[in-house]
């Protein structure tokens, strides 16, 4: 007998649901577009060029920055801020909430970021070179653009939100960390509506490409759409992507009261730390992270229908995660595994939130989208339920577990349940 999820025993006030999604992905500017491209195997990776590094590949977004942001505001702000503004506005529209009359002192903004400030700092130093490094030419915009809360603060300014706003620096686990923070603040009554998730402007900093290249972890391929290939024996690294995904989260009691459409319920999560290496992952801690997320939800592995893997296309990262997955899900015959980075690359701070969003459509269409570009499966990455190259129709998807791991050994797992009243 499988125990019911713990959320069912909680009062509605302590249950946290997703009621809106806004996203900017290299393969879609809203959830429907992204989902369609995921189900049809369409990659969002393309050729890219950036100063000093030269020709490379990236996941590039083409959302309309001007949809919600005046040109002057865009000029003053950052790309991360702009991504955040687009996603936050889209999420609020999607939620159907009466935004005009909503008490914005009770809205909290919790944005996961892998890094922030590199883009602006690099740009300023580059400009300064033209002035013989005379700091009199250093922009007065540098500080407000590079403070760590910048993307969240820009959303607050744009949307006239006066509740708490800040970013959560959590490397590539940041998207999940934003969601977790949002749910915690709702449970603590710190806000009535959370705008939470993650954003990334990372393709605009040459340093991230150069550093991955120096580490031997930057993907290359003659065909950009084939470059991001987690689990394939010929994978050769990460495709850096930009993007964002923000969720409107509410307490179930509030969502029910206003008759909101509910896209899913956050029923479990966990974050932990390897404490073993700056960059190399630790399968044991990753497995522990997933298991504790299951424990918090009151679930067992066999109840998870889809695991959205973190795998980035590196040798060690992919095989270690698969070892962790075998440890937790090795006996489960009904759990399937996919990877969204194979379509869009690694959207860094946005990755966890975007990859979860890409999977949420499975609650309604019952399909697990694939991991593309697996031409020759690495035996170290073999998993019974790995969905390769073609989407797989499942009967009904009730639970999705979303992994997101990052440098300095930060691990996160989030479990979302299909909502049924």
Partner 1 sequence: MAPTDIREAILDILGDIAPDDNLDDLKDDVAFREQLELDSMDFLDIVMELRKRYRIQIPEEDYQQLASMQSTVNYLSPMMAGI
Q: Which residues bind partner 1 (CB under 8 A)?
A: 70-72, 75-76, 131, 136-137, 139-141
CB of 202 to partner 1, least distance (A): 26
Phi, psi of 266, deg, nearest 5: -80, 110
Q: Work out the angle between the directed axes of helices 79-95 and 150-159 (0-180°, nearest 10).
A: 50
Closest approach of partner 1 to the CB of residue 91, in Å: 25
Nearest to 31 by CA among 250, 194, 240, 245: 245
Residue number, 77 or 237, with CB nearest to partner 1: 77
Contact 107, 191 (CB under 8 A): yes
**Residue (71 or 100) nearer to partner 1, CB:** 71
User: How far apart are alpha carbons 166 and 164 in whole angstroms?
Assistant: 7
Comparing CB distances to partner 1, the nearer of 55 and 75 is 75
* Nearest distance in Å: CB 25, partner 1: 27
**Tokens coding 127:** 């400009």
**Do residues 417 and 398 make contact, with C-beta atoms less than 8 angstroms apart?**
yes
- The distance of closest approach from Cβ of residue 107 to partner 1 in the complex, given in angstroms and rounded to an integer, is 25
- Contact predicate 247/262, CB 8 Å: no
Contacts of 248 (CB under 8 A, 6+ apart): 18, 19, 20, 21, 91, 92, 94, 95, 97, 193, 194, 195
* Residue 141 or 392 having the CB closest to partner 1: 141
Residue 41 region by backbone torsions, left for phi larger than 0, else alpha for psi between -120 and 50, else beta: left
Smaller CB distance to partner 1: residue 154 or 232? Answer: 154
CA 242 to chain centre: 11
By beta-carbon proximity to partner 1, the closer residue of 49 and 127 is: 127
HSE at residue 337, side-chain half, CA atoms within 13 A, is 25
Residue 148's CB is within 10 A of a number of other CB atoms, namely 15
Strand partners, 20: 248
Structure tokens at 4: 């019911």
Q: How far is the CB of 157 from partner 1 (least distance, A)?
A: 12
Measured from the CB of residue 129, what is the shortest distance to partner 1 in angstroms?
13
Q: Which C-beta is closer to partner 1: that of 115 or that of 154?
A: 154
Q: What is the Cα Rg of the chain in Å?
A: 20
Angle at 37 between CA 36 and CA 40, to 5 degrees: 85
What is the nearest approach in angstroms of partner 1 to the Cβ of residue 135? 12
Residue 71 CB, nearest approach to partner 1 (Å): 4
Nearer to partner 1, 126 or 137 (CB): 137
Least distance CB 152 / partner 1 (angstroms):
19
Is 2 or 136 the residue whose CB approaches partner 1 more closely? 136
CB closer to partner 1, 70 vs 330: 70
In the complex, what is the shortest distance from the CB of residue 69 to partner 1, in angstroms, rounded to a whole number?
Answer: 10
Supply 277's token pair: 């290496």
Residue 140 and residue 72: Cα distance in Å, rounded?
A: 16
Reduced 3-state DSSP string for 218-280: ECCCCCHHHCCCCCECCCCCECEECEEEEEEEEEHHHHHHCCCCCCEEEEEEEEEECCCCCCC
CB nearer to partner 1: pick between 55 and 140: 140
Neighbouring residues of 252: CB distance < 8 A, sequence distance ≥ 6: 12, 13, 15, 16, 17, 262, 265
Minimum CB distance to partner 1, residue 142 (Å): 11
């Amino acid at each position: 007998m499988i125990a019911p999820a713990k959320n069912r025993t909680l009062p509605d006030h302590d249950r946290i649901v997703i009621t809106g999604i806004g996203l900017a992905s290299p393969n879609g500017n809203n959830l429907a577009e992204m989902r369609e491209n995921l189900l049809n195997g369409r990659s969002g990776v393309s050729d890219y060029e950036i100063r000093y590094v030269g020709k490379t590949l990236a996941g590039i977004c083409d959302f309309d920055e001007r949809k919600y942001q005046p040109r002057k505001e865009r000029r003053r702000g950052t790309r991360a801020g702009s991504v955040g503004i687009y996603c936050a506005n889209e999420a609020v529209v999607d939620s159907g909430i009466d935004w005009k009359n909503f008490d914005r002192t009770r809205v909290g903004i919790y944005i996961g970021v892998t890094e922030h400030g590199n883009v602006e700092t690099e740009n300023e130093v580059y400009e300064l070179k033209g002035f013989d490094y005379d700091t009199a030419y250093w922009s007065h915009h540098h500080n407000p653009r590079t403070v760590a809360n910048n993307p969240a603060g820009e959303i607050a300014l744009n949307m006239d939100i006066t509740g708490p706003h800040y970013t959560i620096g959590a490397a590539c686990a940041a998207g999940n960390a934003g969601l977790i923070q949002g749910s915690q603040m709702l449970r603590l009554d710190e806000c009535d509506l959370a705008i939470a998730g993650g954003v990334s402007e990372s393709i605009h900093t040459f340093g991230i490409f150069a550093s991955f290249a120096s580490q031997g972890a930057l993907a290359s391929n003659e065909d950009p759409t084939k470059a991001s290939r987690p689990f394939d024996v010929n994978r050769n690294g990460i495709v850096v992507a930009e993007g964002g995904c923000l969720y409107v989260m509410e307490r179930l009691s509030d969502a029910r009261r206003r008759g909101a459409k509910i896209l899913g319920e956050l029923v479990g999560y966990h974050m932990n730390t390897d404490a073993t290496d700056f960059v190399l992952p630790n399968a044991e801690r990753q497995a522990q992270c997933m298991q504790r997320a299951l424990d918090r939800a009151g679930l067992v592995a066999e109840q998870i229908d889809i695991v959205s893997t973190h795998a980035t296309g590196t040798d060690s990262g992919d095989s270690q995660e698969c070892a962790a997955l075998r440890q937790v899900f090795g006996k489960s015959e009904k759990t399937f595994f996919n990877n969204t980075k194979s379509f869009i690359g690694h959207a860094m701070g946005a990755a966890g939130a975007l990859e979860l969003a890409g999977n949420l459509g499975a609650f309604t269409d019952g399909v697990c989208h694939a991991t593309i570009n697996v031409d020759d499966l690495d035996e170290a990455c073999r998993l019974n339920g790995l969905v390769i190259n073609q989407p797989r129709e499942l009967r009904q998807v009730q639970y999705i577990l979303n992994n997101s791991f990052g440098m300095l050994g930060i691990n996160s797992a989030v479990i979302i349940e299909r909502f049924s009243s």
